[in-house]
Amino acid sequence: MQAAPSATALPESQPIEGCDVFVIGGGPAGSTIAALLAQQGRDVVLVDKEHHPRFHIGESLLPANVELFRKLGVYEQVDAIGMKKWGIEFVSIEHEYQSYVEFADAWDKSMPSAWQVRRSELDEVLFRNAATRGARTLEGCKVQDVQFDDNGAIVQAQLDDGSRRTWHARFVVDASGRDTFLANKFKSKNKNPDHNSTALFGHFRNVRRLEGKREGNISICWFPHGWFWFIPLADGTTSVGAVCWPYYLKARGDKPLKDYFFDTLALCPELFDRLKHAELIDDRIHATGNFSYNGTHATGDRYLMLGDAFAFVDPMFSSGVYLAMHSAFDGAELVATALDAPQALARVRADFEGMMRDGPREYSWFIYRSTNPTIRDMFMHPNNFLRVKEALMSLLAGDIFGKTPMWWGLRRFKILYYVIAITHPLRTWRGWKRHRFNVRDMGKLQGETIQT
């Protein structure tokens, strides 16, 4: 599908600069594809509306990401800023103990760990790496319009000082994250009615963490109105967030967000206890709408959408950065085909479209069912019967595009789930009802960003 030209007129005196590929957005997806394409010797422009280092949420990485950092040549830099993460702790208020799983138990034993990172630091490493590899990078530069023509596209952007610049690019990559620049332009973004939530989060000092090797693990703590993340960062700070169903945030009324966040924490006694001597950094709790969506299509003859610019799923399994960077690796091949061998583009586009749906779909199956007691039990009692735990750990490690036979194990996991669910019909029905109740649309809160 190709876009209709936009009506925005070009200022008469404005020079038009040329490039092969124009990348909108210097997050993990944009910086990765810019580095890869520049390395191929292409003339790449990468812009971000913000200046690095800039805040971004999404601090827990997956083991499958490690190989991508190696390929980009930034492994040592990420290792230097990261807190080693070997596994996941699951905490459920319905169970009196915690469950610990390790990535080393996945099917592929060669990816036992990942990192927790400050995204401001990680994203700066990736953005600067794109420049080192030869991309022309520009910060404080917000793309405002893209008009496609037969040879590519005219891209217009505004800089922080109010000045404007215009490029003609042979290919445009949209990596604008949840701003979904092209999907908004094409009106091709569909909100997912089966999942929407809101996240409240803050950074804390003096938090009691797990001990020893488990210190860097992410903790996922389920509570009646959603789930918490607990992410220990390398400098001693811990990121704590509550992903809540919209009705719950709406019930806050006029209560200050900070007070509401602490009330929410109290609903998970184990976590509350870990924060009993903690200090909230900057005295600030953030809130962000967190709804899931995906686009109707990710590619055209002259463009492609990566990462969150195409789809977003609930961050319960920390899949966002990996899916974004993986899409950039495949995307770089697609761009090369579009520029060098357009006759082969149709097939490459079809493969890419499939890949962009595979990742979110696989994680969504588990996310949708996370309120279901059967899935909770299976996470709280991880069992390797028929190698289902190995398969589950492969998914949680992000190994979804690898070559292991994990899919058979995952199918067996799902069959076991359905069998248990069918043999407990009342519990299953209650879980389903609860899910419908949780995801009902509360209107105004969607996408809203509040700070207090």
Ligand X SMILES: Cc1cc2nc3c(=O)[nH]c(=O)nc-3n(C[C@H](O)[C@H](O)[C@H](O)COP(=O)(O)OP(=O)(O)OC[C@H]3O[C@@H](n4cnc5c(N)ncnc54)[C@H](O)[C@@H]3O)c2cc1C
- Residues forming the site for ligand X (CB under 6 A): 24-30, 47-50, 56-61, 142-143, 175-179, 181, 199, 288, 290, 306-309, 315, 318-322, 324
- Token pair of 366, please? 């588990």
CB of 450 to ligand X, least distance (A): 13
Q: Which is nearer to ligand X, 115 or 417 (CB)?
A: 115
Q: Which is nearer to ligand X, 98 or 288 (CB)?
A: 288
CB of 50 to ligand X, least distance (A): 4
Cα 160 from Cα 91, distance rounded (Å): 45
Instruction: Look up residue 363 and give its DSSP letter.
Output: H
Using a 10 angstrom Cβ sphere, with 0-12 exposed, 13-18 middle and 19 or more buried, the burial of residue 319 is buried
CB of 305 to ligand X, least distance (A): 9
Q: Which phi-psi region, left, alpha or beta, contains residue 10 (left: φ > 0; alpha: ψ -120 to 50)?
A: beta
Cα 8 from Cα 443, distance rounded (Å): 31
DSSP string, 159-196: ETTS-EEEEEEEEEEE--GGG-HHHHHHT-EEE-TT--
- Token pair of 276, please? 């009993």
| 398 close to 404: Cβ distance less than 8 angstroms | no
Q: Which is nearer to ligand X, 221 or 321 (CB)?
A: 321
CB of 359 to ligand X, least distance (A): 11
CB of 304 to ligand X, least distance (A): 12
CB of 446 to ligand X, least distance (A): 13
| 431 close to 373: Cβ distance less than 8 angstroms | yes
Q: Tokens 């195409």, residue?
A: 310
Q: Which is nearer to ligand X, 335 or 421 (CB)?
A: 335
Q: Which is nearer to ligand X, 133 or 421 (CB)?
A: 133
Sort strands 218-223 and 87-92 into parallel, antiparallel or unpaired: parallel
Q: Which is nearer to ligand X, 295 or 320 (CB)?
A: 320
Q: Which is nearer to ligand X, 219 or 428 (CB)?
A: 219
Instruction: Look up residue 55 and give its DSSP letter.
Output: -
Cα 291 from Cα 195, distance rounded (Å): 7
Cα 358 from Cα 323, distance rounded (Å): 10
CB of 65 to ligand X, least distance (A): 8
